[in-house]
Amino acid sequence: MTGKRLTGQVVLVTGAGQGIGQGIALALAKEGAHVALAGRTKAKCDLVAEEIESVGGTALSLACDVTDRSQVDRMVAETVEQFGSLHGLVNNAASSDQQLLEEVTDADVELCWRSGAMGTLYAMQAALPHLRAAGGGSIVNFGSSTAVYGNATFGAYAMAKEAIRGLSRVAAREWGRYGIRVNVVVPVAMSPASVEFSHKNPERFDAMRNSLALRRVGDCETDIGRAVVSLMSDDLSYLTGDTLMLTGGM
């Protein structure tokens, strides 16, 4: 174990069973945090928990569908019951759907809205009393470059992701008095979706990668996870209500 900037801190990460969520969880644990891993497929979170424990960290694996408020409430309650407190929340879970805008249905919007915007709201509301009891803390929510730049076929997803950014700014205003910081990360990273895209469309993937200023797609742990560690720690204690663009210079 290296670092230790987050020793004794308890952080809950949703969508932690793979990709960016997994990378964040590993980075947090390596800095000394006790990490609760939540996801729809608990078996995936179990594997991440084993990986964390193999490097000397502490993790709790939980099953949770963030579209269901009762499951989110239980997820937060079980985290606090296990570790005694809560200092940080990372709302990474979300579902995406791609359709041309004229073909977007209510079901498409509902999928992205409930898993993204509503799931984020549920977790923030459930976490609030515990973060206040801890004397403050940090919430990291997730936006998307597809929404910031208006990528074609991401209409329903963009609606939900930009709603999360608005929600985060309001929460930063309302909850700053409690010492709670709320920020948004917009990542470009080798998530499972990016890996699949690179395999199916290698030329288009190469073109996307080469359009980035840094000419590489971010690593889920070292590029995204370590940045989230900074947002959870005192390193960025004066940053709130803002969006951190971790896009490699898109």
The whole-angstrom separation of Cα 12 and Cα 100 is 34
**3-state DSSP percent of the chain in helix, strand and coil, to 5:** 55, 15, 30
Locate all alpha helices (DSSP H) within 134-217, ordered by sequence.
145-148, 155-175, 192-200, 202-211
Active-site choice (122, 157, 178, 238): 157
Which residues, in sequence order, are bridge partners of residue 13?
A: 37, 90
Burial profile 29-62: b = 16 or more Cβ within 10 angstroms, e = fewer: bbbbbbbbbbbbebebbbbbbeebeeeebbbbbb
The whole-angstrom separation of Cα 141 and Cα 139 is 6
**For residue 215, which amino acid is it?**
R
Q: Provide the CA 55 distance to its chain's centre, in angstroms.
A: 22
Locate all alpha helices (DSSP H) within 58-105, ordered by sequence.
69-83
Residue 166: phi, psi to the nearest 5? Answer: -65, -45
The whole-angstrom separation of Cα 65 and Cα 48 is 18
**For residue 79, which amino acid is it?**
T
Q: Is 157 a catalytic residue?
A: yes
Q: Are 78 and 62 in contact (CB under 8 A)?
A: yes
Residue 78: other Cβ atoms inside 10 A: 17
Residues with active-site annotation: 157
